Chain A
Amino acid sequence: MKRSKQKNIRLLFQVIYTIVTNGYVYGYLTGKIYKGNLKYTCVPGLNCYSCPGAVGACPLGALQSALNGNGFRVPFAALGFLFIFGSIFGRFVCGWLCPFGLLQDLFHKIPLFRKRKQLPFHKVFKYGKYLVLFGLVFAGSAFLFTGFVKIPAFCKFLCPSGTFMGAIPLLGANEGLRTQISGLFYWKLGLLLFLVLLSVKIYRPFCQYLCPLGAVYGWFNRFSLVQIQWNKEGCTSCMACKRACPVNLSPEEISVSAECIKCGQCVDACPEKCLKMHNNILKKR
C-alpha cells in the first residue's frame, strides 16, 4: 500500500524538529540540563525545560512562571510568544511542531486494537482542554498555594510531556534524584502510561481532550497564516477528506475548527484536489 506523500513529509518533519529542539546530547549523557541563552526563548510546542536535551523553554511553563509571581501579573511575555506562534501557525504547531504529538502519532501506528478516532461522548470531552487551561494553567498557577509559594499547577500535576521528556531522563541519569521520588511522581507516571496506551487505540487523546496549549492555538486556527484552503466549487461532497481526517472534520470545518491540527491528510485524500496547504498572506478582513 502506497503511503501518502504528505504523511511521510510530516513524520520526517516532526522527527527532525524533535531532534533539533531536544537534541542537547550532552544533557542526556550526563543528566544535566542545557543552561545556554537559547532558553530565553520558547519553542512553539509542549516542551519541558527540565528535559536534559531541551534547548528552549516551554510556552506553558513560561505562562505559569509569570502567574506564579508575587501578586497577580499579566503574563505578557508568554502571551507574546503564544500570539506570535498562534497567529502564524494556529494548530499547525500541534500537527508538526510538538514532540508529544509525535509520540502519540507513533503509538497510534502500532497495529493493535481496532483504531478509533475519538472517545465516546467526544462532543463533551473535547472541552476538557479548556477545563485544564482555565483550571490548572490559569487558576491553579495564579491562586493555588501548596506550600510557601505558588506552583505551576499544570506542570506539577498533569503534563505527561514533562514526565516523559524531563522527569524520566533526569531520573535515569541521576541516581541521587531517585531518592526524591514521591507519590506525585507515580501519579504522573501512571497518567503518562495511560495516555500513551490509550493513544494506541484512540487518535492523540491528550491533544483532543486535555492539552491546554492546543486549546489556545485552536483559537487562532481560523485566522492563522498557515491554512488548508478548500475549493468549494470543485467539491463533490464525497467526504473522502472526512474519512481521511484523523479527527473526523467535514470540509467546512477543515483548517478553521479548533480541532484541526493541520496535518494535511485531507489534502492527499481529496480526489478532486480541492484541498491544499496554503497561506493567508494576502487575505484582507
Chain B
Amino acid sequence: MTFWKKISNVFHKIPLWMAGVVVGVMFLLQGIHGGQLEDMYRKAVMICLECIGIG
C-alpha cells in the first residue's frame, strides 16, 4: 500500500468522536499557548459587573 493509502486507512479507523477529542485537545493547547485560559481565569475571579447584568 502507498503511504497515503496507509494514512487514509488509519484515518478511517478512528471513530469521529475520537478525532473530535483530539482536535479539541489541540485547540485547547493552542489556546493555552495564546494565554486565553489566563484571560478567562482573570475574568472568572474578578467579575465585571456589567457582564453579569448588574450595573
Q: Does A touch B (CB under 8 Å) in the complex?
A: yes
Residues of A within 8 A of B (CB): 33-35, 39-40, 42, 48-50, 57, 61-62, 65-66, 69, 73, 75-88, 146-147, 151-152, 155-157, 159, 162-163, 166-167, 170-171, 177, 180-182, 184-185, 187-188, 220, 223-225, 280-285
Q: A33-B47, A167-B54 are in contact. Are A80 and B24 (CB under 8 A)?
A: yes
Number of CB contacts from chain A to chain B under 8 A: 157
Q: How far is the CA of A225 from the CA of B21 in the complex (A)?
A: 10
Is there a chain A Cβ closer than 8 Å to B4's Cβ? no
- List A contacts of B40 (CB < 8 A): 40, 42, 57, 61-62, 65-66, 77-78
Q: Specify the chain A residue showing the minimal Cβ separation from B44.
A: A49
Chain B interface, >50% SS class: helix
Q: List 18 A-B contacts (CB under 8 A).
A: A33-B45, A39-B41, A40-B37, A49-B43, A49-B45, A49-B47, A73-B36, A77-B32, A80-B24, A83-B23, A84-B25, A87-B20, A87-B21, A88-B17, A155-B52, A157-B53, A162-B53, A223-B17
Size of interface on B: residues with Cβ below 8 Å to A: 37
B12: min CB distance to chain A, Å: 5
Q: Are B31 and A77 in contact, with the CB atoms below 8 A?
A: yes
Pick the contact of A81: B28, B39, B51 (CB < 8 A).
B28
Q: Are A182 and B54 in contact, with the CB atoms below 8 A?
A: yes
- List B contacts of A180 (CB < 8 A): 49, 54-55
- List A contacts of B34 (CB < 8 A): 73, 76-77
Interface string of B2-24 (1 = CB under 8 A from A): 00000000001111111111011
- List B contacts of A224 (CB < 8 A): 17, 20
Q: A77-B28, A284-B12 are in contact. Are A220 and B53 (CB under 8 A)?
A: no
